[in-house]
Structure 1
Amino acid sequence: MKVLLVEDEVDLAIPISKLFSSVGWDCAVAKSINSAIDLLERETFDICILDLFLGKESGSMLIPILNERNIPVIVLTVVDDVSEKVRCLRMGADDYMVKPFSPEELLTRIETVLRRVKGITKNRTIKYENLEIDPFSMTVRINGHAIFLPKKQVMILIKLLENIGGVTSYNTLFSYAWVSYEDASIDALRTHVHNLRKVLRNYGFDIISYPGVGYTLRYEKSAESV
């Protein structure tokens, strides 16, 4: 799960991003409309949490841009006004939350929106043969047994599972598993894939490299060693 948080108040952005990290989600923070657009052009997000007031800017300007990318959006605001709520919802917002709010409520609202918009639930798992991942808790299981992997390797594996039968490009992996392209490198990706491949081969899976293009996940044998 990757969240775009558009919030210019550091005192609120930090605890929210820590909240998302605590449940295994990646969070990128933008403090303005322009920085949010820049992130949207370079990365892939599952949902956006959008502050309605960003200094002199109106966060609602970002709603149509998010709609074009099919990214659900939850608006955060201090304005407890029905007309403003209706305006944002009519523009394409999926939910509207008034500050202050509890962490549990925010997580629940996110789960509800994803369930309604994308069919993603807290209990949703991605499966391939006897391998499954819960993208909410970022847990990996093979034959029902938990496999402990670094978070970035889990995110890489999620994208490989979502594209079984196809080649997952470097850019797709960079945009999903790294906070920004500045932090990503082909050497870092190769190292993570190499380490992930060593673990998965113990269970009959392999990651096939396509130099200059990307990777694909395959199930190679029926008898796994555990």
Structure 2
Amino acid sequence: MAHAPDLLLVEDDASLAELVAWHFEREGYSIRRTPDGDEALLLAEERTPDLVLLDWMVEGLTGIEVCRRLRRARATANVPIIMLTARGEEEDRVRGLETGADDYVTKPFSPRELVARVNAVLRRVRPALAGETLAYADLEMDMIGRKVRRDGTPIPLGPTEFRLLKHFLEHPGWVFSRERLLDSVWGHNADIEPRTVDVHIRRLRKAVNHGGKPDIIRTVRSAGYALDAEGRL
């Protein structure tokens, strides 16, 4: 029997935390919650969660700093992080994504919609492609171990960058617009702006080209992006 997904909720609004926890527990989730950023890091270190719901403004360390430290720690580097924020400014949302968050939900939100969003993220990061290995040029992706290597060197990727690279590896040489990538990687119903794709492409590029390796992700002017080890525009 599959274990109940372990969700770490970091939210300092007690009534909202209670409401969110109730909805997730009803869906069979195991919830650990804290209003404090410092305690959130301790809880994540104590037992790696399957997903983190993280408020931007919490007690102790800020949500942005908690996100940054979770991404730096080996055990939580690949754990999906969804930020809860009352901040609607695009600059703030992009800052959260650049820090390492995979998605954001702006308050006020529907708890049922939040549960649906979390369910969708967990489905994407647990692909039912047991045993499959994807490869192109000197890139290799192990779907069981969720590991990526380039020329034999391990490449640490966050969950969204992993899904982006998986999509490119399944269609090498194909040019995908931002809108197509949003549909394929985030899902048709994702309330995410095209600029979000650029943020994650930058993160993916930085990871796979680490150490001065040739840029294998091609930007096609006015068209989108492609995985292409040959000609680059």
Aligned residue pairs total 122
* Alignment partners' CA distance in 2, 1:116 and 1:89: 18
Alignment of 1:179-194 (within 5 A): none
Amino acid at match of 1:16: V
* Alignment partners' CA distance in 2, 1:118 and 1:90: 23
Task: Check whether the contact 1:94–1:113 (CA below 8 A) recurs between aligned residues.
Answer: no
1:94 aligns with 2:98: no
Aligned to 1:16: 20
User: Quick one: percent identity of the two aligned structures?
Assistant: 36
* Alignment partners' CA distance in 1, 2:89 and 2:68: 21
Task: Check whether the contact 1:5–1:29 (CA below 8 A) recurs between aligned residues.
Answer: yes
* Alignment partners' CA distance in 2, 1:94 and 1:46: 13
Q: SS at 2:105's partner residue? A: strand
Task: Check whether the contact 1:74–1:93 (CA below 8 A) recurs between aligned residues.
Answer: yes
* Alignment partners' CA distance in 1, 2:70 and 2:61: 16
Aligned to 1:65: 69
Aligned to 1:146: none
**Residues 40 and 75 of structure 1: is their aligned pair in 2 closer, same or farther, counting only changes over 3 Å?**
same
TM-score by length of 2: 0.49
Give how far 1:54 is off. Answer: 0.9
Aligned to 1:117: 125
Task: Check whether the contact 2:23–2:112 (CA below 8 A) recurs between aligned residues.
Answer: no
Aligned to 1:145: none
Question: Higher Cα Rg: structure 1 or 2?
Answer: 1
* Alignment partners' CA distance in 1, 2:25 and 2:62: 27
Aligned CA RMSD, in angstroms, stands at: 2.1
Aligned to 1:171: none
* Alignment partners' CA distance in 1, 2:18 and 2:38: 20
Give how far 1:118 is off. Answer: 3.5
* Alignment partners' CA distance in 2, 1:66 and 1:73: 9
Give the structure with the higher percent strand. 1
TM-score by length of 1: 0.50
Amino acid at match of 2:67: I
Give how far 1:37 is off. Answer: 1.2
1:41 aligns with 2:49: no
* Alignment partners' CA distance in 1, 2:127 and 2:85: 26
Aligned to 1:7: 11
Task: Check whether the contact 2:36–2:60 (CA below 8 A) recurs between aligned residues.
Answer: no
Aligned to 1:27: 31
Task: Check whether the contact 2:9–2:52 (CA below 8 A) recurs between aligned residues.
Answer: yes
Task: Check whether the contact 1:50–1:76 (CA below 8 A) recurs between aligned residues.
Answer: yes
Q: Deviations over 1:111-163 (max 9, x none)?
A: 2222333437xxx9xxxxxxxxxxxxxxxxxxxxxxxxxxxxxxxxxxxxxxx
Aligned to 1:201: none
* Alignment partners' CA distance in 1, 2:121 and 2:99: 16
Task: Extract structure 1 runs of 4+ deviating beyond 6 A.
Answer: none
Task: Check whether the contact 1:95–1:113 (CA below 8 A) recurs between aligned residues.
Answer: no
